Chains A and B, each alone.
Chain A
Amino acid sequence: MKRVKVVVVGAGVVGLSTAVCVAETLPHCSVTVIAEKFSPDTTGDGAAGILLPREFPDIPLERQRRWFKESFDHLLAIADSPQASDAGVYLSSGYHIFKEIPCDKKPFWSEFVFGFRYMTDREMKRFPNHKFGQAFTTLKCECLSYLPWLEKRLRAVGGQIIREKVTDLHKLALNYDAIMNCSGLGSRFLVNDEEVYPVRGQMLKVSAPWLKNFIRDGDGNTYIYPGIRYVSIGGTRQANDWRLEVDEEDSEGILERCCRLEPSLRAAQVMGEWVGLRPSRANPRVERQYLHVQGRQVPLVHNYGHGSCGVTLSWGTALDALELLRQSLFEKPPQARL
């Protein structure tokens, strides 16, 4: 059987997850990842990588549950293995606190994390400005380790890497039988999707090795995520803000809010600051279309627009994208090229 040449655009957490899914599941496919940015320069590399989804308005809940469950189970197996430290995947417990009682006290993902419960009165005492909280154990997946680890896994099954910025999918389609578009925020230009927009996030890396549990404010603007080598504290959510430079006022605001939640942070040393642009969209786009190129129908599977849930949904959406690819290959086998 002729080898099917699949190209994955984008080497962030979604791109590499998708590439590995395809390469490991479809042995008759050769997989090439083409991207401008690789770890440690992808959006995911700066993210804390805590698995914590949000609910998207237009995707059937069953599909969202499947995305999260599959991502969680996949990463849990890694966390529970000798690979955990290489991959940067491990369990993380903590508190999700709310200043006002949320409408949805028990979100759809509560059954997939471990030990989901409401915080006790004694636990809430630490947060006098908050009225309600959820406690659970989830996973943390640090891209700085995870992406190189995925790359190794890709290469182990013959995957290839090309460092190049893709600007024209039609041109790319000349040389491949199928395209997986995992270009994140880049899709805005690559496929002219105006629904994709950046949500700027700034964070600080601090040294506070005594912190073991995460704290996240339900409003999404303040978080403390203890990591392997530093604690990620943040953040900001600035829609349509393309600035990649650090904003001093943002840093001050982050420090002030986080120290209020966790006073011991006052003793922590700031190691660095980082800005990332979440590839946001009302809903992630995981769907397939076809490019018409020189009389061929080239399947183009989209897998982008995960916003703040890139790591959280990476494996589940990669599996979905794989399925879309598999269906298209089954329905329309690629024509032999002359």
Chain B
Amino acid sequence: MSWMIFWCFSLSLSLSFTAACGCLQLTPPVVLSLLRRNQCFLNESLYIRESEEELAGLQITSCQLNSDMRVCIIGAGVIGLSTAQSIYQHFHSRITPLTIEVYADVFTPLTTSDGAAGFWQPYLYDKGNVQETKWNKETFDYLLSCLSSPDSVKMGIFLQSGYNLCTETAPDPSFKDAVLGFRQLTKRELDMFPGYSFGWFNTTLMIEGKTYLPWLMDWLKQRNVKFHQRKIGSFKELADSGADVIINCSGVRSGDLQPDPELQPARGQIIKVDAPWLKHWILTHDSSSGVYNSPYIIPGSRLVTVGGVFQVGNWSLQNSTVDHKNIWEAACKLEPSLQHARIVDDWTGLRPTRSKVRLVRETIRSGPTSFEVIHNYGHGGFGLTIHRGCAEEAARLFGQILEQKGLLAHSKSRL
């Protein structure tokens, strides 16, 4: 690793600081602590040396004149905003100053998170992605704890019960222990839904993007997180402007920043209707059509979201009249009372679909320098469902970066 060496400058800074303190003793421990205070990176080899005399061979490998830790988050959907929140919560008192900025070309109410129904439920089966199941549950438990707070309404969080309907008997879903009161549907209940022979009932949480995102933005703004409305062309662009760590929460368009053949849009279209007598969500599962390609009806706090389609590879953000017709017919068959509901709006969104969530660190070289990127994208149709677990994990990865840079006040001293 090659680092810029500013040790002379830094040392002289330290000395002037010391002089200002009226303390002229330049013993090795003092030097070291001064260097640490100025956030200098020490050569790893120093860590092995125990003898203070060997400080003569001190090699300061890197120093930042500016002790600012600048985190730049790309994306202001639920993933970007909640990651900013987690990072603030974990590190604002441990790193000073910690500057967090969010860059995005779209903000609430125009993000993918805003259009989604805001319904907590992962896909039925995690296909071995136990990490995702863990993050989903963490998010549920977190939101459940927020339910009793005075902010719950402002956060857009509330409970709602409903039906998962299957065309055939199916094994218990991954979320059965996370949700409340999970049970199988009785025959009498299934009689209400012709064509479906099996299913489950449970109570889950709703987390409406149109309310949650503004709440998150307010929360962040109150804590001096800055927002920039700008499309970022490359990670390097941010790194060159001084970003220390970049967090990539750019969702379905992550491919513009770094090609990822595993990331694909899964187009969804929904119809918003006024049907306030509906108090339960209904999701159908047809193994032949695939997840979310089957009707669903999800009442929100004001309107009911009716879907759905799941068209992999379709980038079109235009509402399709064919999709509208199919969605509406299937939904009215599922819930006959919808026939008299007032249709308010159509909306199309692109689920950032991937074989699994990409939540990893990456060190990117740029000429002689390198910078850290944390990727947090690819949450498919379960972004709101998994957001908090992923944000906490991203914060943990961020903490790793800070530790490796020797920036954490509480990190174990290796000297």
Query: A: which residues have CB within 8 A of B?
Result: 76, 79-86, 88, 90-93, 114-115, 117, 119-120, 122-123, 126, 135, 137, 209-213, 226, 228-229, 263-264, 266-267
Question: In the assembled complex, how far is the CB of residue B59 from the closest CB belonging to chain A, in whole angstroms?
Answer: 57
- The answer, yes or no, to whether B336 is at the interface (CB within 8 Å) is yes
Inter-chain contact B181/A123, CB cutoff 8 Å = yes
Which chain A residues lie closer than 8 Å to B280 at the CB level? 91, 93, 137, 212
Contacts of B277 in A (CB 8 A): 84-85, 88, 90, 228
Q: Tell which of B91-99, B157-165, B237-245 binds the partner.
A: B157-165
Would you give the shortest CB distance from B161 to chain A, in whole angstroms?
A: 4
Given contacts A80-B336, A80-B337, A93-B280, 18 further A-B contacts (CB under 8 A): A76-B192, A84-B337, A86-B340, A90-B278, A91-B279, A115-B189, A135-B181, A137-B161, A209-B301, A210-B301, A212-B161, A212-B280, A213-B159, A213-B160, A228-B276, A228-B277, A264-B153, A267-B150
The CA of A90 and the CA of B341, in the complex, are separated in Å by 14
Give the A-B pair count, Cβ closer than 8 A. 93
Contact B339 A263 (CB under 8 A): no
Inter-chain CA distance A130–B152, complex, in Å, is: 22
Complex contact A117–B161 (CB within 8 A): no
A120–B178 Cα gap in the complex (Å)? Answer: 13
Binding site for A on B (CB under 8 A): 147-148, 150, 152-154, 156, 158-161, 180-181, 183, 185-186, 188-189, 192, 201, 203, 206, 275-280, 299, 301-302, 336-337, 339-341
Closest A residue to B302 by beta carbon equals A209
- B301 contacts across to A, CB distance below 8 A: 209-210
B159 in contact with A263 (CB, 8 Å): no
Q: What is the CB-to-nearest-CB distance from B193 to chain A, in angstroms, rounded to a whole number?
A: 9
Chain A residues touching B, majority SS: mixed
Task: Report whether B276 and A209 are in contact in the complex, using a CB–CB cutoff of 8 Å.
Answer: yes
Residues of B within 8 A of A210 (CB): 153, 156, 158, 206, 301
**In the bound complex, how far is the Cα of B150 from the Cα of A263, in angstroms?**
7
Closest 7 CB pairs of A and B: A84-B337, A210-B158, A267-B153, A90-B277, A210-B301, A93-B161, A212-B160
Q: How many Å lie between the Cα of A83 and that of B277 in the bound state?
A: 12
* Residue numbers in B under 8 Å from A123 (CB-CB): 180-181, 203
Nearest Cβ on chain A to B384's Cβ, whole angstroms: 16
Q: Does B203 lie within 8 Å of A213, measured CB to CB?
A: yes
CA distance A211 to B192 in the complex (A): 23
Using Cβ atoms and an 8 Å threshold, which residues of chain B touch A117?
181, 183
Q: B336 and A84: CB pair below 8 A? A: yes
**Known contacts A81-B337, A123-B181; is-contact A211 B278 (Cβ 8 Å):** no
Q: Which of chain A's residues have a CB closer than 8 A to the CB of B180?
A: 120, 122-123
Q: Which residues of B contact A84 (CB under 8 A)?
A: 277, 336-337
Residue of B nearest to A208 (CB): B153
